[in-house]
Amino acid sequence: MEQKQLTGSQAVLEACIAEGVSTIFGYPGGAIMPIYDALYDYKEKLSHILVRHEQGGIHAGQGYARSSGKVGVVFATSGPGATNLVTGLADAMIDSTPLVCITGQVFAHLLGTDAFQETDVINITMPVTKWNYQITDAEEIPSVLAKAFYLARSGRPGPVLIDISKNAQLQKFNYEGYTPCQHIRSYRPKPVIRKGYIDEAVSLINNAKKPLVIFGQGVILGKAEKEFKKFIEKSGMPAAWTILGLSALPTDHPQNVGMLGMHGNYGPNVLTNECDVLIAVGMRFDDRVTGRLDKYAKQAKIIHLDIDPSEIDKNVKATVGVWGDCKETLPLLTLGIEQKDRSEWLAVFADYAKQEYEQCIQPEMYPSSEEMTMAEVIRNINEITEGNAIMVTDVGQHQMVTCRYAKFNESRSNVTSGGLGTMGFGLPAAIGAKFGAQDRTVIAVIGDGGFQMTLQELGTIMQTGVDVKIVILNNQFLGMVRQWQDLFHDKRYSFVDIQSPDYIMLAKSYGVAGEKVEHRKDLVAAVQRMLSHKGSFLLEVMVGKENNVFPMVPQGCSVSEIRLK
Amino acid sequence: MNHNTEKQEYTITVYTENQVGLLNRIAIIFSRRKINVESLNTSPSEVQGIHRFTIVVMESRDVVLKVVRQIEKQVEVLKAYFNTNEEIVWQELALYKVLSEEITEKVKVERLLREFGARAVAIRKDFIVFETTGHREETNKLMKALEPYGLVEFVRSARVAIIKESAGFHEKLKDFEKREPGEEVIENEYLGKRETVFTM
């Protein structure tokens, strides 16, 4: 067995290497200095990206995890460094993103004394981490980090935070090598699959006249895209997605009937309340998807596949709860279900799609107004990328428009803040997504509000030379809030009128090329220039100030009350 | 009234690893949902190294079921159960401090002890401490009886409960281990070594 003296800090970095980490996002500070000192000697093996703010660091870690499927690793110091991670942790927790965050902590003998930059990060982050732990002795580092990586990525993934006191980082101990963790007595990553509910689900599907499959990020997290495709193809079922499930099934798949929820497509929303069997795969019935719960799919038998038992019956009562990893449960279902032609049922969706196209989509994608629309910008991007880019979005109108209209050919191509709706997520997440998938084009579509929340990360782009295409859809408003004020608050536009700096000049000051488009005639060429530009590029497009995103299921309404205007 | 939505007392039994911070992890599951914890007890269990939480809440079955699943989801929780009062045997312990002068003058202490199944656990010139165990109504009764005679202090413990139907957790734990054999879970071996940790 390997026997050598290492410091705690070195053991942290050895653990990262053993876990296959290639990129760390972080920001140094007093309490994490020993780890950064050790990092100086590990520069060859571990690439560290210096961000401009810890929130940027953790969102980058999330983007990295989402595009690569690997665990994102983030370093931050104690106190403010650690508290700046909280938003990202909450975001990663609700969107099941695997992260290992390492924070420095004051010397163990100073714990609880209100020492400089001391904060009780373990208790602060408890509700927003899958697991967290404080290390005060270096000997614990290898086993605790092994546990951290295992917990972050196994079962339903999530963020893990490990807080390491400065003395433990400095402490020398006998390092006996790194053993990955494969089992924790009190933790079951996936529930045992029972034949009984597989049989029940199969029989419900086989007897269904109008089954509808709705899928979420579980398909992507379970790396079950192929299994999912086989499942829906065998019995010809229509499949609709949540915004985190987006890109698990190619946009142009004939059975892909579109997006669910508040700004989703017409057909899947209305027909949720007409299907006879609703098959939910790796999704958690968020209120933005279900609308009013007591009027949600009441006529349907519900089959719910989830790896997390606490999701079954949490929001929507399942007729059959299929506990398990969908990579394993989907093939079992596929085996049992009959080959069916459901073209008549699919035609109902097509009919709704046609109505929606005429009333909403066509006027948005090919507007007759002088003002540009967000949707036509996305259409122009689609035409050039042909659906091969990773689209990263922030939060708001542009996010809904991008999710609705962007084209996707492969999985892990849509990176967005879904559950938490974190404005400011887009730019740093795009940086991380690019590091996680370096051979792919990464386009960040961001609103003028969200961009101003984390624009300091332009500095990270400048310093690393990472190639991220940034599209700011500028409507000079906090658009989604304005839309609600327009529709539900008598147009009382309270503090949504937001001014922007000169983004092109701003980008230039960070060494990033940019262009502003104010007229339709300049749009195509500008998008082309952006995508063929070597290195990062910022494209600002001035879009209609008061455009609303439709269709919309107003809050408190049933999904069948979806409005087209 | 619906059995699933009607509020009643539920006793939640949680088997956990012995880990710093776990109490908080469990507590925030209740506080996040604005559920008041009526009673909370932590103790060792029948299995060495495994802790047992006994939590009493006044809630509907629907809510308790969801809460228990959230508790079970915590990494260091092995298993959580919930039971109605009919399904458990439970006890609470209460202590009562009364002034000796008053109580010996006005009450036949012997009768009082017999009637309420109480014991005197401390007898001093100035005060006496009684103790009873039982259900809340029973411990309350003695409190009521002592009130007129200068009850100086009263305290009642959390509920401890045994599940009637349960065959104990030991076998289950062995089952877990058999099904998914693996290395021993990492316990916090620095627990109780605060002194040495803190002087580094």
* pLDDT tens-digit readout, A473-483: 999 999 999 99
Q: How many CB atoms lie within 10 A of CB B186?
A: 17
**Is A6 an interface residue toward B (CB < 8 Å)?**
no
CATH of domain A195-349: 3.40.50.1220
B195 pLDDT above the threshold of 90:
no
**CATH number 3.40.50.970 is the correct assignment for the domain at A372-542:** yes
Instruction: Kindly determine whether residue B176 and residue A131, on different chains, have CB atoms separated by under 8 Å.
Output: no
Contact between chains at B72 and A107 (C-beta distance less than 8 A)? no
Domain boundaries, chain B: 89-156
pLDDT of residue B183: 37
Q: Of the candidates A124, A126, A82, which has an alpha carbon nearest to the alpha carbon of residue A101?
A: A82
- Is A186 in CB contact (< 8 Å) with chain B? yes
- What are the residues whose beta carbons fall under 8 Å from the beta carbon of A402, sequence distance 6 or more? A374, A378, A391, A393, A416, A445
- From residue A537, give the alpha-carbon distance in Å to each of A183, A503, A565, B136: 45, 11, 35, 70
3-class DSSP assignment, residue A246: coil
| pLDDT confidence of residue A3 | 72
Tens-place pLDDT, residues A24-66: 999 999 999 999 999 999 999 999 999 999 999 999 999 999 9
Say how far apart CA A215 and CA A552 lie, in whole Å: 20
Higher pLDDT pick, A484 / B111:
A484
User: How, if at all, do strands A211-215 and A277-281 pair?
Assistant: parallel
**Residue A34, both tokens:** 């020993």
Query: What is the largest distance, in Å, between two alpha-carbon atoms of chain B?
Result: 66
Specify whether the backbone of A165 is left (phi greater than 0), alpha (psi in -120 to 50) or beta. Answer: beta
B182 contacts A182? CB cut-off 8 A: yes
A186 and B177 within 8 Å at the Cβ level: the answer is no
Distance from the B177 Cα atom to the nearest Cα atom in chain A, whole angstroms? 7
Are the CB atoms for A422 and A453 separated by under 8 Å? no
Is residue B74 within 8 Å of B123, Cβ to Cβ?
no
| Facing residue for B75 by CB, picked from A134, A143, A184 | A184
User: In whole numbers, what is the pLDDT of chain B averaged over residues?
Assistant: 84
**pLDDT recorded at residue B48:** 85
Determine, for residues B28 and A126 on separate chains, whether the beta-carbon distance falls below 8 Å: yes
The nearest alpha carbon in chain B to A138 belongs to: B197
**Which residues of chain A lie closer than 8 angstroms to B182, CB-CB?**
182-185
Q: For residue B118, give every residue at least 6 positions away whose Cβ sits within 8 Å of its Cβ, in sequence order, or none.
A: B96, B112, B130, B131, B132, B142
Enumerate chain B positions whose Cβ falls within 8 A of a Cβ in A.
16-17, 20-21, 24-25, 28, 32, 65-66, 69-70, 72-73, 75-78, 176-177, 180-186, 190, 197-200
Smallest Cα distance from B196 to chain A, Å: 9
Sequence-separated contacts (24+) of A195-198 with Cβ below 8 Å: A197/A320, A197/A321, A197/A322, A197/A323, A198/A322, A198/A329, A198/A332, A198/A333, A198/A336
* Residue A234 a catalytic site member: no
Chain A: closest CA distance from residue B165 (Å): 23
| pLDDT above 90 coverage of chain B, percent | 63
Check if A113 contacts B (Cβ < 8 Å).
Answer: no
Please give the mean pLDDT across all residues of chain A.
97
Q: What percent helix, strand, coil does chain A show, rounded to 5?
A: 45, 20, 40
Residue tagged active-site, from A147, A166, A190, A407: A166
CATH of A4-175, one of 3.30.540.10, 3.40.50.150, 3.30.43.10, 3.40.50.970: 3.40.50.970
The residue ranges of every structural domain in chain A are 4-175, 195-349, 372-542
- Confidence grade of residue A172 (pLDDT, cut at 50, 70, 90): very high
> Nearest chain A Cα to B181, which residue?
A183
Residue at token pair 């386009």: A443
Tell me the sheet residues that pair with B154. B96
CATH number for the B89-156 domain, one of 3.30.70.1150, 3.30.1330.60, 3.30.160.20, 3.40.50.300? 3.30.70.1150
For A236-295, what is each residue's pLDDT tens digit? 999 999 999 999 999 999 999 999 999 999 999 999 999 999 999 999 999 999 999 999
